[in-house]
Each structure stands twice: as structure tokens, then as C-alpha cells.
Amino acid sequence: MKKGTIALIVVVVLLFIMFFSFKGYYNSFVTLEEQVSQSWSQVENVYQRRADLIPNLVEVVKGYAKHEQETLQGVVDARSKMGGQVNVSKDVLNNPQAFAKFQQMQGALSSALQRLMVVVEKYPDLKADKRFGELQAQLEGTENRIAVERRRFNESVQNYNQTVRRFPANMIAGMFGFSKKEYFKADVGSEKAPKVKF
């Protein structure tokens, strides 16, 4: 064989290797990014469930806790600030400021609900109400689901981030615009247990 033919074969083989390497990396990035998006959708799903429970919970509490309008209004206001933002575009995952704002709004809603549950302790008749008990159980279950889905989301983000940051994948990821995603983080001060006073 001639040297030119051998060189051509080597170049073609190298091009095939490069093509399949790029293809493999790119497809794995797409798969992992879709897993992050799917996990994010589950987080939004449980947030929506919580948002749907709040009006019913507030209505039941209103009948018993007429003197607690400030707390009830705080819950209503926190939910209304969310507006249509329970489901946000997946672009929020690529925008750290928008992601932080979303987390902050959800944190405010969680805080308002915690204050409402503290107020409820003052009203034994309310705690005995069957509707309130069912709503409270659903809300507690939803809060647990939120924690689970946040953890799953963070696991998906970790897997994605590890893949796009490893060498040589990081060079290919950069060429195609795959960048690091943000994790869910605990709210500032959430490491301290809330003080409950009666």
C-alpha cells in the first residue's frame, strides 16, 4: 500500500473515532439534562399540589381563628406572590438569579404555612375538625414529597454536573453550551429550629 492511502485510512479512522466520541458525549449530556428537567417537573408538581391545598386550608381555619387574620393573610399573600409561577420554564434552571428567586418565594410560602400551624395550636376545636385534620395530613404528606423531590432533583443535578465538568467531556460540553446547573439549597436560617411560643 502506498503511504498516502495508509495516511488517508488513519485519518478516516480518527475522524470516525472523534465523531462517535462527540456523539456519545453529546447524547449523554442530552439524556442527563432531560433527567434534570424531569426531576424539576416533579418538584413543580408537588409545589402545585401544596398551592392547591392552601385555599382549602385557609377557609377551614378562617371559621375558627377569626382573630388570626394577620397570619391567614400572610399565607394568602405568600401564595398569591407565587401567582402562576409554580410552574416556571426550564430556563430558570440555567439562570441562577431566577432560580434563587423561585426558591425564595417557595421559602416564604413554607414559612407562612409554619406560622399558620403554630396558630392552629391555640384552637383545640379546629384541631378536632375532620376537614382540617384531612387537609393537615395532606399538607404534611405534600411537604414530605417536596423534600423527596428536592433530593431527587439535587441527585440529578449532581450527576449532570459531574458529567459536564469531567475531562474531556467538559471541553465538548462547553462547545455545545451545556453548563453547570444550580442545586436546591436550604433557606438561610433553616438550620435552626423555629421557636414556638404559646
Alpha helices in the chain (DSSP H): 3-64, 69-82, 96-120, 124-128, 130-165, 169-176
**395550636: which residue's cell?**
121
The more confident residue out of 106 and 82 is 106
pLDDT at position 122, please?
Answer: 75
| CATH number of the domain that residue 109 is part of | 1.20.1440.20
Q: Is residue 191 part of a domain?
A: no
pTM of the model: 0.71
Domain-embedded: residue 181:
no
- Domain around 30: 3-176
Number of domains present in the structure of the chain? 1
Q: How confident is the model at residue 184 (pLDDT cuts 50, 70, 90)?
A: confident
* Residue 120 within any structural domain of the chain: yes
* Residue 164 is assigned to a structural domain of this protein: yes
Is residue 145 a part of any domain in this protein? yes
Structure confidence at residue 67 (pLDDT) = 60
pLDDT in tens, 125-142: 777 778 888 888 888 888
134 within domain boundaries: yes
Residue 55 lies in a domain: yes
